[in-house]
């Protein structure tokens, strides 16, 4: 960027001592949050817990009771436990529009199949189906944890989180030793590890069989004796049997907490920062919002990594229906009130951007790339190549956002996701834009996006938080 008069100042060079202390507060909270909440159910539950502590009430309960809403009231709504809507009513009528923060809380991972348990040569594995865009070879030979729920047919739901505590076991997917890898290494990167080879090792110790009991296999051991031992552990520790796995949602993610990265501790290395680095600052900004004029809204959604589909994705009617309930309780009834509210709204669709990586400079266009430590990144348009699948914010809205950020002293930058012909990506922005509201993409620059461990700058996470707070206060 040498000689570029549009170059943005590195945020670290501009911080006061007070701001550095606030940065530490936000980033330490962020590291704890993403270490403790790695899947969408956990993020949703933790967000609701924090919202309730901040005075938010359950929208469903208020609807059932017919409680009227007034300026200053705070409500939340959960979408199947995998998404959450937070609303802080402002002094202006809802019909005048909302200030909306939106981010997704799902991340690339391995999902356990419905019929997953398999024993081969006394190794028991869980079969998986990868979720979202991953490089499969990155998921072998690293410690993994299992998170999720198992729902028994008689009603109880068992929460699962194994691999995160210091005394927990971890899991892994095996890789082929280098000494025998001639053929494997001749394959293209996408084929080095096949999807069906992403089997997670969960056991190797067989049940000891006395006498002639059990069908015998090689070496006199009972056939599937290791699987039997694993099932016994599941029964004893979690109270579930193999059939219960049919109604389970178990997600395999990298084990371990987020950590400071670099000798100067300026960066964060952690799982799922696409899109927790935007979701968490959005949540905190929403909860710290005080007496807004325009109603402040944060929506955290599922399924963005696979197209925002399904009941918990942004394409569902959850947001629209929940806002209809809010308007009704606030006394602004009728279909036109909802349509006017959504059409007059403004949104920051928050998703991460690809930080310029000098090791892979060939796929970036330097003037239109985002850089670690230079603040919140705005993308006027997204999409692939010819802007396919893009939201494109109009110039007037971009100007408004510029003014908002500058007035608040927020460090920001603008970017595209790589060179035009290199590829691209999309967000939830185009889905909200269908209402006619103003929407622009923004987010935190990330290195190694979609890898098991992603890297962000603490300064960028902090500037995202500051930018979101400024936006929620925008008149």
Domains in the chain with CATH codes: 11-107+271-472 (3.40.630.10), 109-254 (2.30.250.10)
Rounded Cα–Cα distance for residues 267 and 350 (Å): 20
CA angle 367, 372, 378 (to 5 degrees): 60
Token pair recorded at residue 209: 């069989």
Q: What local confidence, expressed as pLDDT, does residue 221 receive?
A: 52
Q: What local confidence, expressed as pLDDT, does residue 217 receive?
A: 52
- Cα separations (Å) of 99 from 145, 167, 323, 410? 37, 44, 13, 18
| Location of structure tokens 């992603």 | 454
Rounded Cα–Cα distance for residues 187 and 304 (Å): 30
The stretches in the chain having pLDDT less than 70 are: 1-6, 209-223
Residue pair 313/307 in contact (Cβ under 8 Å)? The answer is: yes
99 phi, psi to nearest 5 deg: -105, 115
Contacts of 99 (CB under 8 A, 6+ apart): 292, 294, 295, 296, 297, 345, 346, 347, 471, 472, 473, 474
Residue pair 330/324 in contact (Cβ under 8 Å)? The answer is: no
Q: What local confidence, expressed as pLDDT, does residue 416 receive?
A: 87
Sheet holding 267-270, edge to edge: 259-261, 267-270, 454-457
Token pair recorded at residue 414: 């603008």
Token pair recorded at residue 451: 């890898």
Token pair recorded at residue 106: 């799902």
């Amino acid at each position: 960027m040498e000689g570029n008069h549009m170059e943005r100042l590195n945020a670290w060079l501009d911080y006061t001592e007070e701001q550095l202390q606030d940065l530490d507060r936000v980033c330490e909270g962020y590291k704890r949050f993403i270490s403790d909440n790695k899947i969408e159910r956990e993020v949703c539950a933790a967000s609701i817990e924090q919202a309730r502590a901040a005075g938010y009430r359950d929208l469903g309960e208020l609807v059932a009771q017919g409680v009227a809403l007034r300026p200053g009231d705070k409500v939340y709504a959960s979408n199947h436990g995998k998404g959450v809507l937070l609303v802080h009513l402002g002094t202006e009528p809802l019909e005048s529009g909302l200030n909306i923060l939106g981010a997704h809380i799902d991340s690339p991972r391995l999902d356990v199949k419905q019929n997953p348990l398999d024993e081969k040569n006394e190794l028991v594995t869980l079969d998986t189906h990868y979720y979202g865009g991953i490089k499969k070879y990155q998921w072998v030979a690293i410690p993994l944890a299992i998170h999720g729920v198992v729902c028994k047919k008689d009603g109880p739901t068992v929460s699962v989180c194994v691999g995160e505590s210091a005394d927990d076991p971890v899991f892994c997917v095996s890789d082929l030793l280098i000494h025998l890898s001639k053929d494997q290494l001749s394959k293209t990167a996408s084929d080095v590890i096949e999807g069906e080879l992403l089997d997670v090792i969960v056991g190797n110790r067989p049940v000891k069989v006395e006498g002639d009991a059990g069908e015998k296999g090689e070496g006199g051991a009972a056939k599937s004796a290791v699987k039997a031992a694993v099932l016994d552990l599941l029964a004893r520790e979690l109270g579930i049997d193999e059939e219960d796995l049919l109604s389970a949602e178990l997600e395999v993610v990298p084990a371990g907490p987020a950590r400071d990265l670099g000798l100067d501790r300026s960066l964060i290395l952690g799982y799922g920062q696409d899109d927790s680095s935007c979701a968490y600052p959005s949540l905190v900004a929403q909860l710290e919002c005080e007496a807004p004029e325009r109603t402040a809204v944060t929506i955290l959604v599922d399924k963005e990594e696979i197209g925002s589909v399904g009941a918990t994705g942004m394409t569902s009617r959850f947001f629209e229906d929940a806002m209809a309930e809010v308007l009704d309780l606030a006394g602004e009834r009728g279909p036109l009130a909802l349509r006017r509210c959504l059409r007059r709204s403004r949104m920051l669709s928050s998703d991460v951007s690809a930080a310029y990586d000098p090791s892979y400079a060939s796929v970036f266009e330097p003037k239109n790339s985002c850089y670690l430590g230079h603040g919140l990144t705005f993308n006027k348009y997204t999409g692939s190549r010819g802007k396919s699948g893009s939201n494109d914010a109009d110039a007037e809205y971009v100007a408004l956002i510029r003014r908002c950020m500058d007035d608040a002293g927020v460090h920001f930058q603008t970017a595209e996701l790589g060179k035009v012909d290199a590829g691209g990506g999309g967000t939830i922005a185009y889905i909200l834009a269908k209402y006619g509201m103003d929407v622009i993409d923004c987010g935190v620059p990330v290195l190694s996006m979609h890898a098991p461990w992603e890297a962000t700058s603490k300064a960028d996470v902090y500037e995202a938080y500051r930018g979101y707070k400024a936006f929620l206060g925008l008149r």
